[in-house]
Structure 1
Amino acid sequence: MMMTHKTLFQHLSTLVFVCTTVFFNANGQSPARVWTKTAQPLTEMAAVRKLIKAPVFPKRDFPVTKYGAIGDGKTLNTEAFKKAIAACAKSGGGRVLVPLGNFLTGAVHLKSNVNLHLADSAKITFSANPTHYPIVFGRWEGMELMNYSALIYAYGQNNIAITGKGILDGGANYDNWYSWNAVRPSKQTGARARLQEMNWKETAPKKRIFGDGDFLRPNFIQLYSCNNIRIADVKMINSPMWNVNPVLCENVTVENLRITSHGPNTDGVDPESCKNVLIRNCYFDTGDDCIAIKSGRDHDGRRIAKPAENHIIEGCEMKDGHGGVVIGSEISGGARNIFAVNCIMDSPNLDRVLRLKTSSSRGGIIENVFMKDIRVGAYRDAAVTCNMFYEQAGKFMPIIRNIWVENLDVEKGGDYGLFIHAYQESPVENLRMVNCNIRGVKTPVKADHVKQLKLENVSINGSLVKGLFPDK
């Protein structure tokens, strides 16, 4: 039975927080650490920041209009984009320049040393015709497959960018892409179940072939096994599904984006199994999670065994969405060293501030998550959520540990301040909240299995919560 706020206060004690607790990863990796002072995660975050460097490109421009593009919003310019990108890459790199106009296109495939740059107010509108997106290798909801290309796609490339103060319009609405998943049962249900079965049966990924008639929508941007990436300054609207989805990438900078998409599953930024990622000064108004850090679903995540690692989120603003900063649910490869600081969230349609979601089908270890200086106007469900019962159960016990939330200020909360739903045999461990003020929630704390939870100067609905939650 979940422990209520009243029971929590009855059982709070003066137990000493054990700072020297040591855990070992299931795969034999180095022992997990337990932060005891704010300076520790801040020092680690500073070290991660030094590892992330944006790519630099030669000062050469390749205007798409030189290769036949016409910005009238009607002419299909897929071949012109392809030719401009090929010429830029062959020359050693530079900018593929999109000038003022509205350029309609199908899939755009980036190559190494290419910066796709939009002039101020330039617009790229993507076709809603599925035949304009060839079948390529990628991930869909954390599972590898052959499926429609993302609207902007790259595989195995280095030094790539998408920049400029223009507009990327995914062209999605409820008459095209969104209709594939807008009603229940959705058109994608059968293919999704078949892909999941292939995942569980360990079918070779390149034999998992989907496309016409399967209704698995493409993501807006998917960069797969790429390094040295920068996505900056553009406005993204009307994505068919996830907006920005780097997969198995390293050294990724995402900054100054403005993402507005309110269709089903239109997450903002979803880095999957990536290392050294900076997401800063972005605006999110989405139909799903604003930022969702992932590392593969079930068998695929365990097979590839590449965690999400060393992510910094700072200076972002979140409006509508299922969660502001989210880890999961496709998290079978694990996640560690996730830092989120100086963010603003405010919407009655924002469900959660910090959301950790996993299951015993996913497994994996989520550890070393630090959130500080977060101002929240309103949210709907919970400020902090740790949920190990997201979707179906399995035999791979998840682990959540070493979570630190500091200086979280909420004006008007929703159903819960803190919500923890964990397995008895795998309680959430070492969750610490420091200097937090959460107002206007219905149930301040609801938790079942948690070990070494410390609440330090935490006020919920005007009452100061003191002591520790007893190990349970």
Structure 2
Amino acid sequence: MSIFNKASISLLSATLFFLSVSAQKIPAKTKPGLNPFAGMVLPQTKQPVFKKDTFNIARFGAIGNGITLNTAAINNAVNACNKAGGGVVLVPTGLWLTGPVVLKSNVNLHINRDAILLFTKDFDQYPLIAGNWEGLPSVRNQSPISGKNLVNVAITGSGIVDGNGDAWRMVKKDKLTETQWKNLVASGGLVSEDKKTWYPSEKSLKGSQTKQAGVLVNGKTVKDYEDIKDFLRPNLVVLESCKKVLLESVTFQNSPAWNLHPLMCEDVTVRNVQVKNPWYAQNGDGIDLESCRNALIENSTFDVGDDGICIKSGRDEEGRKRGIPTENVIVRNCIVYHAHGGFVIGSEMSGGAKNIFVSNCSFIGTDVGLRFKTTRGRGGVVEKIYISDINMKGIAGEALLFDMYYEAKDPVPLAGENRDVPKLETFPITAATPQFKDFHVSNVVCDGAAKAVFIRGLPEMNIADIYLNNMVIKSKKGIECIEATGIYFKNVQLVTGSTNPVVKINNSAAITFDGLKYNAASDLLFGISGEKAKAIRVSNTSASEAKNTVEFTGGASEKSFILN
């Protein structure tokens, strides 16, 4: 171990630094209305067009009294609209109880502001079907709203689509207050043997104890899954292999699982929607854009129980066989409140993801801000990701996270939960080895996070070519890079707690810091470890403001560090 000592900073100087933080210039934001990716060719998304003919569901016998089951009436209206060449299926004022609705081509399902489309709690109304779950062919209950192989399809209006998800979801005790838990248990259902999770039925509990529950394997039919039917929760809206899709202005809420799931679609527009799930909703994602091409998500708000805005493309070998990346996507002017991640890629990204542009978004109270996750076995390449002008506040975990050791757990451990750090082993590179590379993230401001930046690649496949530019992050801990190559930090300011060191680098190479700012009088600026650590360059940085500039451990050499 060796340490480079520098002069100590006086208490007065340190105090002045903290007082000056709020007055320091933050990265310039893109002016409203301007393209933060000026000079780049952005993807274009085709919009659906509909006839003005209107088919009011009340004229087909639907009754909006919250009691009458309107499944047949609503589907009859959709079918009649489709047969007439398309138009608008109107859900007028009322509380419309229904079972699954199947959309058709050239149909715009329009829900008035004072209308609620409420899906029944009667599980018998949802037949088991062959579908897709988390990137694998699976048996699921039919989704409340679905459509396949459609052209020109929309859900619009400013009303509410409610999936009655509380009837389906299991709930962890640790995510509720004592009173909420007692009320939930008293409502019926069953509690797991360890008394930590509530299940709505015996079939739901049995499904939780079944390995790869719902995965459709050779030799089995849909009927073989009846004994765990209640566990196979549907996504609220599933549109598969559709072209020219529009979701606009509607509130989608209370889904049994994911809220919005466009799968293998082309030309998808999601605009001005509100997406809500309870924060404790397991698998309660906002939107999962999976293996889609040409998509626009804008001016929308998400407050959910899992990832907010998520990019996927299939899982493991099945995803690689499908081989359809999610590509040519714009996400802009969105807000994410509670979620596991604000903007997320993975972990099911086996078909790859590329040409994705995210800008002018705010994440408030999410577990992680920008979350990129994968694991061995996925394969797939995630690249050409461009992110700019992001605001964050109250992030429970990392502001930016790149992790290739995803373990299918909540990103922030619950109280009393202990997690082991994964053992870093080197494996042969195969088609199942995932890749993260060529990310560009700029103009990020974060007021509060547990850690500013966490990057953890695989020894055999480092996370590579990540460009992080113009950031001000207030967090408890600073930056950590493990098994990374070609990471560039430019004009990054860290306002951290009592962290030692400010920057940890393990077995990483070609790590560049240009214009790094940090708390004056920090005990240690850089901690470098591992025999593979090399070419760590620091410039335009007042390294002498730290009590100690750099410490080398675990086989790291002083030659690995270059201070200009």
SS in structure 2 at match of 1:213:
helix
Q: Is the 8 A contact 1:454 1:467 kept in 2?
A: no
Q: Is the 8 A contact 1:247 1:272 kept in 2?
A: yes
1:47 is aligned to 2:83: no
1:193 maps to amino acid: Q
In structure 2, how many angstroms separate the alpha carbons of the residues matched to 1:133 and 1:407?
46
Write the mapping of 1:73-222 to structure 2, written as runs, cut at 5 A. 73-173=66-166, 176-179=167-170, 183=197, 187-191=206-210, 193-195=212-214, 198=217, 203=218, 210-211=225-226, 213-214=228-229, 215-222=231-238
Change (3 A) 1:180 1:389: same
2:489 maps to amino acid: L
- Give structure 2 stretches of 5+ with no counterpart: 5-34, 174-196, 200-204, 409-421, 497-501, 504-512, 517-532, 537-564
Work out which of the residue numbers 434, 443, 463 in structure 2 matches 1:428. 463
1:357 is aligned to 2:373: yes
1:61 is aligned to 2:54: yes
More displaced stretch, 179-188 vs 309-318:
179-188
SS in structure 2 at match of 1:296:
coil
Work out which of the residue numbers 479, 501, 512 in structure 2 matches 1:445. 479
In structure 1, how many angstroms separate the alpha carbons of the residues matched to 2:342 and 2:152?
29
In structure 2, how many angstroms separate the alpha carbons of the residues matched to 1:304 and 1:404?
27
Change (3 A) 1:471 1:115: farther
In structure 2, how many angstroms separate the alpha carbons of the residues matched to 1:295 and 1:402?
18
Larger Rg: 2
Alpha-carbon shift at residue 188 of structure 1 (Å): 3.1
Change (3 A) 1:212 1:104: farther
Change (3 A) 1:331 1:87: same
> Which residue of the partner structure matches residue 466 of structure 1?
514
> Which residue of the partner structure matches residue 19 of structure 1?
none
1:283 maps to amino acid: T
In structure 2, how many angstroms separate the alpha carbons of the residues matched to 1:61 and 1:85?
11
Alpha-carbon shift at residue 470 of structure 1 (Å): 4.7
> Which residue of the partner structure matches residue 405 of structure 1?
441
Q: Is the 8 A contact 2:491 2:515 kept in 1?
A: no
Scaled by the length of structure 1, the TM-score of the pair is 0.84
> Which residue of the partner structure matches residue 391 of structure 1?
407
Alpha-carbon shift at residue 219 of structure 1 (Å): 0.3
Alpha-carbon shift at residue 130 of structure 1 (Å): 1.7
SS in structure 2 at match of 1:320:
coil
Alpha-carbon shift at residue 212 of structure 1 (Å): 5.2
Change (3 A) 1:220 1:40: closer
2:485 maps to amino acid: K
Work out which of the residue numbers 227, 247, 250 in structure 2 matches 1:231. 247
SS in structure 1 at match of 2:170:
helix
1:91 maps to amino acid: A
Work out which of the residue numbers 335, 357, 364 in structure 2 matches 1:317. 335
In structure 2, how many angstroms separate the alpha carbons of the residues matched to 1:78 and 1:259?
23
Alpha-carbon shift at residue 388 of structure 1 (Å): 0.6
Alpha-carbon shift at residue 352 of structure 1 (Å): 1.0
1:255 is aligned to 2:271: yes
> Which residue of the partner structure matches residue 268 of structure 1?
286
Work out which of the residue numbers 434, 454, 469 in structure 2 matches 1:419. 454
In structure 2, how many angstroms separate the alpha carbons of the residues matched to 1:116 and 1:363?
38
- Give structure 1 stretches of 5+ with no counterpart: 1-5, 8-38
Scaled by the length of structure 2, the TM-score of the pair is 0.71
Change (3 A) 1:66 1:47: same
SS in structure 2 at match of 1:375:
strand
Alpha-carbon shift at residue 448 of structure 1 (Å): 0.7
Work out which of the residue numbers 336, 359, 362 in structure 2 matches 1:341. 359
Counting matched residue pairs gives: 425
Deviations 1:301-346 (A, max 9, x none): 0111111111111000011010000000111111111111001111
1:294 is aligned to 2:295: no
Change (3 A) 1:61 1:428: same
In structure 1, how many angstroms separate the alpha carbons of the residues matched to 2:461 and 2:223?
34
Change (3 A) 1:257 1:108: same
1:259 maps to amino acid: V
More displaced stretch, 363-372 vs 453-462:
453-462
In structure 1, how many angstroms separate the alpha carbons of the residues matched to 2:37 and 2:464?
17
2:324 maps to amino acid: K
Identity value in percent: 37
Alpha-carbon shift at residue 384 of structure 1 (Å): 1.0
SS in structure 1 at match of 2:82:
helix
Change (3 A) 1:62 1:366: same
Alpha-carbon shift at residue 43 of structure 1 (Å): 3.8
Q: Is the 8 A contact 1:158 1:229 kept in 2?
A: yes
Alpha-carbon shift at residue 137 of structure 1 (Å): 3.3
Q: Is the 8 A contact 1:145 1:205 kept in 2?
A: no
Alpha-carbon shift at residue 53 of structure 1 (Å): 2.0
Q: Is the 8 A contact 2:235 2:260 kept in 1?
A: yes
Alpha-carbon shift at residue 146 of structure 1 (Å): 3.5
In structure 2, how many angstroms separate the alpha carbons of the residues matched to 1:210 and 1:363?
29
> Which residue of the partner structure matches residue 388 of structure 2?
372
Change (3 A) 1:146 1:178: closer
Q: Is the 8 A contact 2:171 2:198 kept in 1?
A: no
1:411 maps to amino acid: D
Root-mean-square deviation (Å): 2.7
In structure 2, how many angstroms separate the alpha carbons of the residues matched to 1:321 and 1:287?
5
Alpha-carbon shift at residue 258 of structure 1 (Å): 0.8
